[in-house]
Amino acid sequence: MTRILLLHGPNLSQLGSRDPAQYGTATLDEVVAAARAEATPAGADVEHFQTEHEGLLLERLHTARTDGTAAVIINAGAWTHTSYALHDALELLEVPKIELHLSNIHAREAFRSTSVIAPVCDGSIAGFGIDGYPLAVRAALALLGRRA
Q: Which of 23, 27, 67, 62 is nearest to 45 (CA)?
A: 67
Considering only residues 50, 69, 83, 103, which one is a binding residue for ligand DQA as defined by CB under 6 A? Answer: 103
Q: Residue 60 in contact with residue 7, Cβ under 8 Å?
A: yes
For ligand DQA, the closer of residues 70 and 73 by Cβ is 73
The span from the first CA to the last CA of the chain, in angstroms, equals 14
Torsion-angle region of 78 (φ positive above 0: left; ψ -120 to 50: alpha; else: beta)? alpha
Cβ 65 to ligand DQA shortest distance, Å: 24
Cβ 138 to ligand DQA shortest distance, Å: 18
Does residue 77 bind ligand DQA (CB under 6 A)?
yes
Does residue 27 bind ligand DQA (CB under 6 A)?
no
Residues that bind ligand DQA (CB under 6 A): 11-12, 75, 77-78, 80, 101-103, 105, 112
